[in-house]
Every structure is written in structure tokens, then in C-alpha cells.
Amino acid sequence: MNEPYIGRFAPSPTGPLHAGSLVAALASYLDARAHHGTWLVRIEDIDEGRAVPGAAEGILALLEQLGMHADGEIVWQSRRKALYQAAAERIALHTYPCGCNRREIADSRLGFAPDGAAIYPGTCRHGLAEGRSMRSLRLRVPDPGFDVISFQDRFAGEVTQRLSGESGDFVLKRADGFWAYQLAVVVDDAEQGVTDVVRGADLLDSTPRQIFLQRVLDVPTPRYLHVPVVRNELGEKLSKQTGALAVAPGDEQAAVAALSDATRFLGLQLAPVESLDAFWRAAVPAWANLLRERA
């Protein structure tokens, strides 16, 4: 019997799918199919300021066109705020209101977490200073010595982070009123029963914070597999900001070509194929083989 497997692809609709996000989508889809599991699609539009109108619909249409069909309903984070609110209330003893603004945090010169967020010095940990009001809601991380999170990534191997030094108390609700990615992703993965997270390595450094939050919320930790990030000639991660081109296959041949490029990037060797059906018939067992070889 196969172990239960629930995977997901969780794009932020900040622009159309490009070659980099296609690699993440493909890896999560292949992993789910190779495990005879379920593959969910969740639109991470919680940051409503960055969501681009029509981008989510474009991504969903493209996934369908490429033959990546989601199992079950598509979930939209912007419609699930009550779940995030309930989760934050449940762990209220571990959170505190923070009145600091960006400049004040940057002025503390503790440096930056790997994802670019300034490390929080803990100014408001013991209460808001006189005359300050709440801007964001933060989760208290354990003190040095008790703050090490390690996990086994299926691709990267062992990953270890010291939360107090490498992120500090992190934001669950932002100053603009939106729930933070870290909270939404953990609540959703738990609520959807996700057993396997397959995504780009740009999120490797967020994972220890997510694992810590899972422990505070008392929900299971999924397995993680972070695939390498596609970069342009300048070594930059592909994104709208770096001018990544959208994947926009005009016909089946172009769809097969886009998928074949993404599979090659993932290290799969496939004989050339003519149709989408033939592509999927070859790609799923090839991914299963790769997993066996790496095991």
C-alpha cells in the first residue's frame, strides 16, 4: 500500500507563470503522480497589494493546457482569512503586538534574514512602549540555545537554522493588515492535509520558521523537497522584476517543448516526444526512477 501523499503547487499570482515557476509546478506535480498521490493547487493571493488582476486565472488556464490537472477545488488564500485569524487567536500566548516601523528595525543593524526581512531585535517583546500603537503581530521565537530548527530536505539534505539569530521574532500579521505568508502557508498546508511540500529553493530559508510555527500550532510537519531555482544569465532568480518571460505555448508542440526544458532542468533525461500524453507517460516514471536512484 502506498503511504498517503498530498502535495500542492501554491503560486503567488504576481504575474504569469515563467520558466522558474513552471519548474516548481512540474516538480510538485511529478512527485505527486509518482507517489500516486493527490495534487492540489492553491492561489496564494493573500498579499492583495501584489496580486495582479487576471494572473491567477492565467496560471490556472496554463496548468490545464499543459495537462497538469488539480485534484479537488482550487483554494484561494484571500477567501480564507477567518482561518488565519482563528489560528493567530489560538496561539495568542506566543504572539505580541509590535509598534516598530521598518526603519527602526533596520536601524538596529542586526542584519537580514536570508529572505531579506530585517532581523527583529525584540524591542516590543515585553510590551509596547508608551504612546506606540500596534503595527504588526509577531511570533516570539525561543531564546538562543533553544531555537535551533533542523530538518531533512529531500533534495538539499540536512538544513539547520538558529531562529533567534537568523530571523528573530517574525511577523504573522503585517502592518498593512494582511496576514503574512508564513502564517497563511502553514495554516493552509495543515488544513489541507499536505504531506509533501515540493517548491523552489528560494523558500528553503523560510522552512525553519514554518516548522517552528507548526510546532506552536501543534500541527504535523510535512516532508520538504526544495528544487533548484532557475536563474537568468546574470544569476538572478527569474521573476517579474528580472524580466522573466511568461510561458505561453501557442500549440501542443510548444507546450511539450516548455515542459521538456523544465524536466531537463530537473535532471530528467527523456527521449524526445511529440504529444503531451506521451510527455506525461514518460515523465512520471522518469521522476519515480530518479527518486529511487537518489534513495
- Give binding residues for ATP as ranges: 240
Contacts (CB under 6 A) with ligand GLU, residues 21-50: 44
Give dist(CA 73, CA 192) in Å, integer: 11
Give dist(CA 248, CA 62) in Å, integer: 8
**Span interacting with ligand GLU, options 10-18, 104-112, 252-260, 270-278, rule CB under 6 A:** 10-18
Query: In angstroms, what is the minimal distance from the CB of 104 to ligand GLU?
Result: 28
Binding ligand GLU (rule: CB under 6 A), the pick from 118, 137, 139, 203 is: 203
As given in the structure block, the three cell numbers for residue 90 are 489560538
Q: Which of 14, 95 has the CB closer to ligand GLU? A: 14
Q: Which residues does the annotation place in the binding site for Zn(2+)?
A: 98, 100, 120, 124
Q: Does 226 bind ligand GLU (CB under 6 A)?
A: no
CA geometry: angle 195, 200, 204, nearest 5 deg:
75
Q: Which of 33, 199 has the CB closer to ligand GLU? A: 199
Strand residues in 165-233 grouped as ranges (E): 170-173, 196-200, 223-227
145: left (phi over 0), alpha (psi -120 to 50) or beta: left
Query: In angstroms, what is the minimal distance from the CB of 199 to ligand GLU?
Result: 4
Helices 181-191 and 81-90 sit at what angle, rounded to 10 degrees? 100
User: Is 158 in a helix, a strand, or coil?
Assistant: strand
Q: Which of 172, 203 has the CB closer to ligand GLU? A: 203
Query: In angstroms, what is the minimal distance from the CB of 293 to ligand GLU?
Result: 25
Nearest-Å Rg of the Cα atoms of the chain is: 20
Q: Which of 10, 137 has the CB closer to ligand GLU? A: 10
Query: In angstroms, what is the minimal distance from the CB of 44 to ligand GLU?
Result: 4
Nearest to 103, CA basis, from 129, 115, 121: 121
Q: Which residues does the annotation place in the binding site?
A: 8-12, 44, 98, 100, 120, 124, 181, 199, 240
Binding mask 98-137 for ligand GLU (x = CB under 6 A): ----------------------------------------
Binding ligand GLU (rule: CB under 6 A), the pick from 6, 12, 38, 187 is: 12
As given in the structure block, the three cell numbers for residue 114 are 536570508
Q: Which residues on adjacent β-strands are paired with residue 43? A: 76
Centre a 10 Å sphere on the Cβ of residue 265 and count the other Cβ atoms it contains.
17
Q: Which of 10, 258 has the CB closer to ligand GLU? A: 10
